[in-house]
């Protein structure tokens, strides 16, 4: 199981949003590249970087572009990147920055064929689809708009289209430290047979351990708990590798 330290970028800073709400923001660092180096030094093999300005449709959605390029250039760490990648051109620009995998959300939910197109062009290992759910419904456009999909139905359809990687977030838990939704994440992985990465609400090493013990979950994104010292990254990596 892979542990992905989260670096959520907004206005050039590392932040976290509670339940994806841009009005409930905490700033953790003014230097995202230094933050990336910190997690790299602790042993992270992957980083999960999100352009929140892009996800939220900010007018200056490219404010974080140079930062993403610098992080992607770091030796020995790979970057999974998402946030506002809603068409093929945006995905191509992301890969031009040097990232290793993109995460597409809104575009793939509204048109699963888009996900299939991106997998066909870039390969299944380089494309992940974000299934962000609130009360059993997939939400889009920065988690603000409900779709007509359940995570399971969309996951099964995406699997049939050749998608391999899924980022599953329980939005109601994100940034709150309420504990990760182990049961829903494991069920999604078991029924779709996709490589599912858990996100949202990871609060302690117990959450990492519980996901690992399912034997089904491919990875976990850890954000707020890392920044507030509730999870030691080295310890989380050890559990995930065990």
Give catalytic status of residue 8 as yes or no: yes
What DSSP string describes 43-87?
T-SEEEEEEHHHHTT-TTTTTTHHHHHHHHTSTT-EEEEESS--S
The tokens for 152 are 């399971």
Contacts of 109 (CB under 8 A, 6+ apart): 129, 131, 138, 140, 147, 149, 154
Which of 8, 53, 174, 207 is an active site residue? 8
Give catalytic status of residue 132 as yes or no: yes
Q: From CA 145, how far away is CA 218, in angstroms rounded?
A: 27
Which of 53, 132, 195, 207 is an active site residue? 132
Task: Kindly give the pairing relationship between strand 13-17 and strand 25-29.
Answer: antiparallel
Active-site positions read: 8, 132
């Amino acid at each position: 199981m892979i542990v992905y330290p989260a670096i959520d970028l907004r206005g050039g800073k590392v932040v976290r949003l509670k339940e994806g709400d841009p009005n409930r923001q905490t700033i953790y660092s003014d230097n995202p590249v230094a933050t990336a180096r910190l997690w790299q030094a602790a042993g992270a093999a992957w980083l999960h970087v999100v352009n929140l300005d892009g996800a939220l449709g900010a007018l200056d959605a490219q404010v974080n572009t140079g930062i993403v390029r610098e992080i992607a250039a770091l030796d020995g760490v790979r970057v999974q990147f998402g946030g506002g990648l809603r068409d093929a051109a945006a995905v191509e620009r992301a890969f031009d920055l040097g990232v290793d995998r993109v995460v597409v959300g809104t575009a793939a939910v509204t048109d699963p064929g888009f996900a299939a197109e991106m997998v066909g062009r870039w390969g299944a290992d380089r494309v992940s689809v974000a299934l962000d759910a609130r009360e059993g419904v997939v939400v889009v456009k920065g988690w603000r708009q409900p779709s007509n999909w359940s995570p399971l139905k969309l996951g099964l359809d995406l699997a049939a289209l050749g998608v391999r990687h899924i980022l599953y977030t329980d939005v109601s838990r994100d940034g709150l430290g309420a504990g990760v939704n182990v049961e829903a994440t494991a069920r999604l992985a078991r029924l779709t047979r996709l490589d599912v990465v858990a996100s949202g609400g990871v609060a302690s090493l117990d959450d990492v351990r519980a996901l690992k013990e399912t034997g089904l979950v491919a990875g976990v994104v850890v954000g707020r708990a890392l920044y507030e010292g509730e999870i030691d990254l080295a310890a989380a990596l050890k559990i995930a590798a065990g």
